[in-house]
């Protein structure tokens, strides 16, 4: 990891915050000078109400505090992002729950999904990369997991690869909804994306780090 990049983030943010604070202080001093000048040169027969001075001062002070708060939040966000990247780098080699996918490499794959009600029926559906259904497995009511052996509709072993995994939930004989099934997949890389940190999983699939439901060490 390039630690100089993290240093640049921290230094750059600090410099920006310092410049903004200096600008705010300068503006506040200018405001006080203008307020003093206004008080010295007001019409003695029609003086400005003291409460108006207090209101002006309070308004400017509130704006100044908001600017400083925004700068502080920006600084903390930048530092948290840098630290988050460093922490997530330690996830490489671990496994995370990937939604809607199962990587079959000859060994049985444990699949997980939201618990199904006793009154519902559920079918686990596995699809290949083209979207073609390769396996349909009817599961008992109340199921929340299943170990897939990697077989197709005829019971023959499927080739190694990543398969789409979902469950079809039926109520009163009618398909009510389709949900993702989850399986653990190895994390091979952590990178920065446009919307945040991204995990690259074994086989090339990607997952937003914020969507990771669980992380574990690989079974030995």
Question: What is the rounded (10 degree) CA torsion for 6, 8, 14, 19?
Answer: -160
pLDDT on residue 196: 79
pLDDT on residue 1: 31
| Domain positions in the chain | 3-90, 94-220
Strand (E) or helix (H) holding 172: none
Helix, strand counts (H, E) of the chain: 2, 12
pLDDT tens for the chain, residues 1 to 220: 332 333 333 344 444 445 545 555 566 667 667 767 776 776 666 666 666 666 666 666 666 666 666 665 555 445 445 556 777 788 899 999 889 989 999 999 999 998 878 888 899 999 999 999 999 999 988 889 999 999 999 999 999 999 999 999 998 889 989 999 999 999 999 888 777 788 899 888 888 888 787 888 887 6
**80 φ, ψ to 5°?**
-65, -40
| Alpha carbons 165 and 117: distance in angstroms, whole number | 20
CATH of 94-220, one of 3.20.20.70, 1.10.10.10, 2.60.40.4070, 3.90.1200.10: 2.60.40.4070
pLDDT on residue 142: 82
Read off the DSSP letter of residue 46.
Answer: S
Read off the DSSP letter of residue 150.
Answer: -
Q: Is 218 helix (H, G, I), strand (E, B) or coil?
A: coil
pLDDT on residue 47: 65
| Alpha carbons 90 and 71: distance in angstroms, whole number | 30
Q: Is 74 helix (H, G, I), strand (E, B) or coil?
A: helix
pLDDT on residue 91: 85
Read off the DSSP letter of residue 91.
Answer: G
């Amino acid at each position: 990891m390039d630690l100089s990049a993290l240093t640049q983030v921290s230094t750059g943010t600090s410099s920006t915050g310092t410049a903004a604070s200096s600008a705010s202080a300068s503006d506040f001093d200018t405001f006080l000078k203008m307020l003093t000048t206004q008080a010295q040169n007001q019409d003695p027969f029609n003086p400005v109400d003291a409460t108006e001075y207090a209101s002006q001062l309070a308004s400017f002070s509130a704006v100044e505090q908001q600017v400083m708060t925004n700068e502080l939040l920006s600084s903390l966000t930048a530092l948290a992002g840098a630290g988050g990247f460093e922490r997530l780098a330690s996830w490489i080699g671990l496994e995370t729950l990937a939604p809607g996918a199962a990587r079959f490499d000859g060994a049985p794959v444990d699949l997980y999904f939201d618990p199904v009600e006793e009154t519902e029926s559920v079918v686990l559906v596995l699809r290949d990369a083209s979207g073609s259904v390769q396996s349909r497995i009817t599961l008992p009511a109340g199921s929340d997991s299943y170990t897939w052996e990697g077989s197709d509709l005829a019971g023959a072993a499927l080739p190694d690869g990543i398969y789409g995994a979902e469950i079809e939930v039926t109520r009163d004989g009618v398909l009510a909804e389709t949900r993702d099934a989850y399986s653990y997949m190895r994390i091979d890389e952590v990178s920065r994306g446009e919307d945040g940190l991204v995990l690259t999983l074994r086989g090339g699939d990607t997952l937003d780090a914020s969507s990771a439901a669980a992380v574990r060490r690989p079974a030995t």
